[in-house]
């Protein structure tokens, strides 16, 4: 086999030189400076056109027939290298460094076992219903193999090697000291459709350029102004309006699925931050994006078939139409915003447009999604970039915050003593005010502890993945180029060695001295990531969640509905598999 591989390489390397000199040959024209064609073929160049053409066609066909088996052999060798030799070679290299794992299986790797364990775990709810030990359910394959191979082991996502890393020292090295070597891996196509190709998905110089542009939107001073002038009044009013739709008769309970209910609050907040004074236009666009997310989420629940998303099925064509309408609407909005007096940009869209049309830059009236917003920077901003950033901002902001609010409400419903403590704090700090101020929100320490404990037990993203751009040493071990590193966030958050024997219990008091001192290692708490790629909107998400819960706690007592089934599951982000029905009871005159 090795001799065949070498022969194929030798033939392929030499096949493009003398034969490429033949007019009419499929290998192309002769390259200047290359070897001259043999004399035999020079002689044939003197023949009549008809004879020459016919002869060369015959030679070309003969050459194609001779080359075909060799080409197929090369392809077979290459495929065997990718699907067997390389994985087995990597498996041996890691084993020699003391890293084990389930054996690689041809083509599929560990996928069959991973899918089987995931389906088995999601087929039944957690028992008991008050348990917070969610690791065996949301990452069952990690939980299973960790008990066999330890916290650092090798798994195979098809022919791709993934090394699990749960050591906080190594995590710190990956995200901080060696972040230039470990890049974010390319997401699943369906995930990219959900999150857009914005800041979350970008890599390299383009990511750094976009991060620099977007950071002012979330800078503390800019955020304070938006919080005081826009977000607190608007979000507060939204929550109040939702609350007022519930019966205000004391003692009467109303069942609400909070996993759906909180979507409205987060959608309004993220629209205001993204579009500011163009809120109404942005709201309409994000409604379309919500429909698009439903299509993508539905596809993600099914078995992934490569290329299926390109087939003209009804759902695919509907999704394509939505995508075109979203892009057209955003492009029209960008054009209108450019024509308006700019002033000082306070929202995401304004900052992006200003960055693309500042000194030395020019924003052309776009006619297609790929029309450029020319910029003097090395990495210009395009209309497509702005469209994708808006999509990313909507997905990440809406889903992350609604997940946090959902699980916080579920936890407070389970643990009534902490609900009472949080309510007492809200009433003491905020007094009779329906909508707390920014300064009052900052004083709600107990509520902040509850939110942090929620993020620890139920992080929106249960894991994250990085990819080694080059061969690198990590913890004294050699990591080959292209190896993916799986950081199981939920496993780190539930590690008894880091959090104590009560790691699987709800205990917000562990955050009394702040997040950095809550565990035995400062890198043990990473719900928003770490380092340069830490979630840019984490402060906004926490403020929005605290404001929403403060308003609800002041007006309602709540508990889990009898129909609630405790079944956390990870579909892109962590969410309740069967919804989160909660019974709300108005406190009315008891305040």
Query: Measured between alpha carbons, how far is 460 from 394 in angstroms, rounded to an integer?
Result: 15
Measured between alpha carbons, how far is 377 from 360 in angstroms, rounded to an integer? Answer: 9
In contact, 328 and 368? CB cutoff 8 Å: no
The two structure tokens encoding residue 394: 């909507």
Residue matched to tokens 């997905």: 395
Residue 535 annotated as binding site? yes
Say if CB 398 and CB 573 are below 8 A apart.
no
* Number of C-beta neighbours around residue 365 at 10 A: 11
User: Residue 456 has which token pair?
Assistant: 């620890």
H, E, C per residue of 478-541? EECCCCEEEECHHHHHCCHHHHCCCCCCCCHHHHCCCHHHCCCCCCCCCCCCCHHHCCCCHHHH
Element (H, E) at 474: strand 472-474
Tokens representing residue 232 in the block = 């607190």
The owner of tokens 């706690």 is: 553
> β-strands 477-479, 484-487: how paired?
unpaired
Burial of 307 (0-12, 13-18, 19+ CB in 10 A): exposed
- Angle between the N-to-C axes of helices 538-555 and 232-244, in degrees from 0 to 180, rounded to the nearest 10: 40
Q: CA 145 to CA 383: how far, in whole Å?
A: 46
Structure tokens, 405: 């609010």
CB 283 within 8 A of CB 271: yes
* Cα–Cα dist 363/443, whole Å: 44
Distance CA(560)–CA(253), nearest Å, equals 11
Helix (H, G, I), strand (E, B) or coil at 49: helix
- What region does 13 belong to: left with phi over 0, alpha with psi -120 to 50, or beta? alpha
Please name the helix (run of DSSP H) or strand (run of DSSP E) that holds residue 182, with its range, or none: strand 182-184
530 in Cβ contact with 523 (< 8 Å): yes
User: Which DSSP helix (H) or strand (E) runs through 447?
Assistant: helix 445-457
Spatial contact of 232 and 364, defined as CB atoms under 8 Å apart: no
Local structure of 541: helix, strand or coil? helix
Q: Give 559's strand partners.
A: 583
Binding site residue list: 535
Binding site residue list for heme: 535
């Amino acid at each position: 086999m090795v001799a065949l591989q070498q022969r194929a390489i030798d033939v392929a390397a030499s096949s493009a030189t003398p034969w490429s000199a033949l007019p009419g040959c499929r290998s192309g024209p002769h390259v200047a400076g290359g070897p001259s064609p043999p004399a035999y073929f020079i002689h044939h160049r003197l023949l009549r056109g008809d004879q020459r053409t016919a002869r060369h066609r015959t030679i070309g066909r003969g050459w194609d027939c001779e080359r075909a088996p060799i080409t197929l052999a090369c392809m077979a060798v290459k495929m065997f290298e990718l699907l067997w030799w390389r994985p087995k070679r990597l498996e041996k290299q890691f084993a020699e460094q003391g890293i084990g794992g389930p054996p690689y299986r041809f083509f599929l790797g560990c996928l069959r076992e991973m899918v089987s364990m995931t389906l088995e775990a999601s087929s039944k709810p957690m028992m008991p219903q008050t348990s917070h030990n969610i690791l065996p359910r949301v990452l069952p394959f990690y939980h299973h193999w960790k008990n066999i191979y330890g916290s650092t082991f090798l798994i195979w996502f098809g022919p791709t090697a993934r090394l699990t890393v749960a050591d906080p020292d190594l995590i710190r090295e990956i995200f901080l000291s060696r972040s230039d070597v470990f890049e974010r891996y390319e997401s699943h196509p369906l995930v990219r459709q959900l999150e857009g190709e914005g800041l979350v998905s970008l890599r390299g110089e383009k990511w750094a350029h976009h991060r620099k542009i977007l950071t002012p939107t979330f800078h503390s001073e800019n955020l304070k102004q938006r919080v005081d002038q826009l977000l607190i009044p608007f979000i507060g009013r939204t929550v109040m309006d939702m609350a007022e739709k519930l019966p205000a008769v004391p003692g009467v309970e109303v069942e609400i699925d909070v996993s759906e209910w909180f979507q409205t609050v987060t959608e309004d907040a993220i629209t205001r931050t993204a579009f500011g004074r163009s809120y109404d236009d942005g709201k309409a666009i994000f409604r379309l994006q919500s429909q698009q997310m439903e299509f993508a989420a539905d596809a993600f629940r099914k078995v992934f078939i490569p290329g299926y998303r390109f087939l003209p099925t009804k759902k695919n064509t509907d999704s394509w139409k939505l995508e075109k309408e979203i892009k057209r609407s955003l492009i029209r909005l960008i054009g209108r915003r450019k024509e308006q007096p700019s002033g000082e940009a306070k929202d995401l869209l304004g900052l992006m447009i200003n960055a693309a049309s500042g000194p030395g830059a020019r924003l052309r009236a776009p006619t297609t999604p790929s029309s450029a917003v020319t910029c003097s920077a090395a990495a210009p901003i395009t209309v497509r970039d702005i469209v994708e950033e808006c999509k990313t901002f909507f997905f990440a902001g809406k889903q992350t915050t609604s997940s946090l609010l959902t699980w916080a409400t579920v936890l407070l419903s389970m643990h009534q003593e902490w609900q009472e403590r949080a309510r007492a704090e809200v009433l003491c700090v905020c007094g009779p005010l329906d909508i707390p101020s920014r300064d009052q929100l900052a004083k709600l320490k107990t509520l902040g502890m509850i939110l942090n404990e929620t993020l620890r037990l139920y992080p929106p993203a249960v894991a994250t993945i990085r990819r080694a751009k080059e061969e690198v040493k990590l913890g004294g071990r050699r990591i080959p180029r292209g190896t993916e590193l799986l950081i199981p966030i939920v496993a780190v958050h539930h590690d008894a060695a880091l959090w104590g024997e009560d790691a699987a219990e709800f205990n917000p008091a562990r955050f009394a001295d702040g997040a950095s001192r809550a565990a035995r290692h400062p890198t043990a708490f990473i719900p928003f990531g770490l380092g340069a790629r830490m979630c840019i909107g984490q402060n906004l998400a926490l403020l929005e969640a605290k404001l929403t819960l403060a308003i609800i706690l002041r007006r309602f007592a709540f508990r889990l509905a009898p129909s609630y089934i405790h079944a956390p599951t990870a579909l892109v982000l962590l969410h309740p598999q069967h919804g989160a029905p909660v019974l709300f009871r108005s406190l009315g005159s008891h305040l």
